[in-house]
Structure 1
Amino acid sequence: MQKFFIYTFLFIVLFGLFGWYFSDITFFFVISLIISAILRPLTNKLNDFHLLGQHIPRWTAIILSYSAIITVLILLSFLFFPLINNQINILSELDLEGIYETIKVPISKVEIFLFKYELLENKPGLLFEEIKDTFIAAISNINVGKFISGIINTTTTVLIGFLAVAFITFFLLLENGLLRRNFLNLIPNPYFELSVATITKIEKLLSNYLTGLLLQVLAIFSLASLGLTIVGVDYALTIALFAAVANLIPYAGPLLGSTFGIIVGISTGDYESGAQLNYLIFKILAVFGVVQVTDNILLQPMIFSKSVKAHPLEIFVVIFAGAKLAGVVGMIFAIPVYTIFRVAIMEFYQGYRSYRIFKIK
């Protein structure tokens, strides 16, 4: 028994070191596991479908599942095209001289105040010119070559990651549980039953968690789009979609969503005075306030606490620990990873107390 726990501990340590050292591969594999878990029900249904008296081949069912996901993503991306086009038109018609004249007045007031109390040695009028010259110099010093090279490198990295995830996910779906069976074959017979129960419980909890996240995204998108449409904010569906996806990032997501909504509202809104601008910001904040109250009171306790059967304080600590270790990515994957280790430890501890097989020397 002691050897079993020693070997198990060594395996976990080595697995953790491997995952840390090859973090990119680990990240791709985890993403692939999640996507395969989402696509497996659809793939299985397509695979069971009869066409001309024959089952659809599994590889064809996987490709059809991929096509369905890609189609949904393309349709959702159409929501952002009008907004992007609007911003391009705004930038193309941007009057820099008008902007300079607009900000010159408040800067001049600040400059006069600083000069009055001898906090500024320059004569009034020079501060604005210095800010203007600094801004122009910063733009002119941008290295176009490095900027383009950075875009190419980023695009290449994203493309490689996308292909890696698609490749791994394809074989996870194609093998349909072969990885799980091979892992179970490595477990000694005395611990086989307990290991199967543990893995089954982990899969069920993670499935509940992913289903809950999907329901949360749909609920936030529906509430935000409805609220923003009612108060008359342009591009309500686009803002709501961004907010729903950003909400996957615990705690920081709602702030990102509301900030994006305010930026889009300000850049596309129709207002003629400061009061109208303030009213527009108030309407956007009010909508997101209602959405977040609903999310915090109804959705999150149901998803994060009940789906993984953990105390909210546990979830809070785990999320911030994930943020400390891996930033935003750590916050997103903190709960699933914690669920795996938590369930495994609890099941084996209960098995140690309940099963006689663990007491065999």
Structure 2
Amino acid sequence: MAITQQTLLKFVVGAAITAAVLFLVWYFSSIVVYILVSAVLAVMGNPLVKRLACIRIRGWQVPRWLAALVTLVVIWVVLAVLCTLFVPLVFHKIQQLSGIDFAAVMGSIEEPVARMQYYLDELFALPESSFSLSESLSAGLRSFVNLESLNTLFSSLFNIVLSSVVAIFSISFITFFFLKDEGLFYAMVSAMFPERYHENIIRALDSVTALLARYFTGILSESLLLTIAVLLVMMAFGMKTADACFIGLIMGVMNVVPYAGPLIGGIMAVCIGVITPIEGTSVGHTVLVIVASLLVLKGLDDFVLQPTLYSERVKAHPLEVFIVILIAGSVAGILGMLLAIPSYTVLRVFAKEFFSQFSLVRKLTEKI
């Protein structure tokens, strides 16, 4: 298909509008995050609102505003229950790490560290005393649980709580009206475009909602299953329930970040195992149990669950998704990797609606 002057002009105008929108999104990123989180919560809670709004009691029908309010309360109750289950574990572990005896920890792993040091010296022909694995591990552990860092964390707790209160209030307020006035989010987005594009916008938002709902429900289900699996395996090997829950929580939360998250979570889990080993076993045995268990569980997760989540659920090729995550990670770090797939899904859907005349766009969006 030949590219006409009108088509080229449409592309340039569209690119300019897209650039302007992206700049505004970046500039008002905190507000945009509140709106997006509220939209996701509204999508999750909308079925309950509809069900409650259909209830009739002696001719009196539950008003939609009341159904929306009840649904919002249910959402926050569920989130509060989850927090009460896991937040105490995190604070207990921070308190435990702040009083750790590094001399005892390093003494317990002295023999395997010395053996590993010998293998490194032999393998890389290192000069004597040029590199000390023991000192490097000790420095790493000290930086991981540095007392000054912990004090800074607690001193900034007030700011974190204040920001959280503002975020919770803002998200609750926006979510309530998204639940109460069905289609409000669609109207907000459509208002930014000329009326002749409203049909395309509605179609795009329908596709985005369906794809992102599938993706988020899938990734949350995967993280929950991984948390439970890690917890049960660690407990089966004799680890204390609190430590097993903490390692399972770390792996479940970090698993939300594609590819890099599980690696970071695994390193943190090994550090926890070194500091608080399984009772009655050596540190080396504990580390072996953690590493072997996580490798097996993540292998099952990578080859069974993730291909379905990261490709089938957002209708994209696995290699395409992998490259997008790499680009996002190099541009915006961990946050970029976390938002890469949802952002790419939105861009693909809108590109299909407005730029389907280009062969590259048709190729990238043919499965949507």
Partner of 2:260: 252
- Note the C-alpha offset of 1:250: 1.1
Other structure's SS at 1:232 match: coil
Return the alpha-carbon distance in structure 1 between the equivalents of residues 204 and 149 of structure 2. Answer: 55
- Note the C-alpha offset of 1:346: 2.4
| 2:66 paired with 1:54 | no
| 2:331 paired with 1:334 | no
Question: What letter is aligned with 1:232?
Answer: G
> Could you give the per-residue CA deviations for residues 62-96 of structure 1, whole angstroms, max 9, x where no partner exists?
3333333333333333444356447646856x668
Residue 344 and residue 52 in structure 1: after superposition, are their counterparts in 2 closer, same or farther (change >3 A)? Answer: same
Question: What letter is aligned with 1:251?
Answer: Y
Question: What letter is aligned with 1:243?
Answer: M
Q: Contact conserved, 2:49 with 2:71, CA < 8 A, in 1?
A: yes
Residue 285 and residue 56 in structure 1: after superposition, are their counterparts in 2 closer, same or farther (change >3 A)? Answer: farther
Aligned pairs, number: 324
Residue 4 and residue 185 in structure 1: after superposition, are their counterparts in 2 closer, same or farther (change >3 A)? Answer: farther
Q: TM-score, normalised by structure 1?
A: 0.74
Other structure's SS at 1:308 match: coil
Residue of structure 2 aligned with 1:344, choices 347, 350, 364? 350
Structure 2: runs of 5 or more not aligned: 1-5, 115-126, 360-368
Question: Which has the higher mean CA deviation after the structures are superposed, 217-226 or 261-270?
Answer: 261-270
Return the alpha-carbon distance in structure 1 between the equivalents of residues 128 and 306 of structure 2. Answer: 54
Residue 322 and residue 168 in structure 1: after superposition, are their counterparts in 2 closer, same or farther (change >3 A)? Answer: farther
> Could you give the per-residue CA deviations for residues 126-153 of structure 1, whole angstroms, max 9, x where no partner exists?
xx9xx9xxx9xxx999998x87653322
Question: What letter is aligned with 1:249?
Answer: V
| 2:295 paired with 1:295 | no
- Note the C-alpha offset of 1:259: 3.1
Larger Rg: 1
Residue of structure 2 aligned with 1:222, choices 216, 220, 228? 228
Q: Contact conserved, 2:45 with 2:71, CA < 8 A, in 1?
A: yes
Residue 157 and residue 325 in structure 1: after superposition, are their counterparts in 2 closer, same or farther (change >3 A)? Answer: farther
Structure 1: runs of 5 or more not aligned: 110-116, 121-127, 354-361
Q: TM-score, normalised by structure 2?
A: 0.73
Other structure's SS at 2:314 match: coil
Sequence identity, in percent? Answer: 28
Partner of 2:240: 234
Residue 118 and residue 340 in structure 1: after superposition, are their counterparts in 2 closer, same or farther (change >3 A)? Answer: closer
| 2:157 paired with 1:151 | yes
> Could you give the per-residue CA deviations for residues 160-201 of structure 1, whole angstroms, max 9, x where no partner exists?
223222222222222221231354467666555444333322
Return the alpha-carbon distance in structure 2 between the equivalents of residues 287 and 350 of structure 1. Answer: 46
> Could you give the per-residue CA deviations for residues 339-358 of structure 1, whole angstroms, max 9, x where no partner exists?
111122123333689xxxxx
Return the alpha-carbon distance in structure 2 between the equivalents of residues 234 and 227 of structure 1. Answer: 11
Q: Contact conserved, 2:223 with 2:255, CA < 8 A, in 1?
A: yes
Q: How large is the Cα RMSD of the aligned pairs?
A: 3.9
Return the alpha-carbon distance in structure 2 between the equivalents of residues 147 and 217 of structure 1. Answer: 26
Partner of 1:306: 312
Q: Contact conserved, 2:39 with 2:185, CA < 8 A, in 1?
A: no
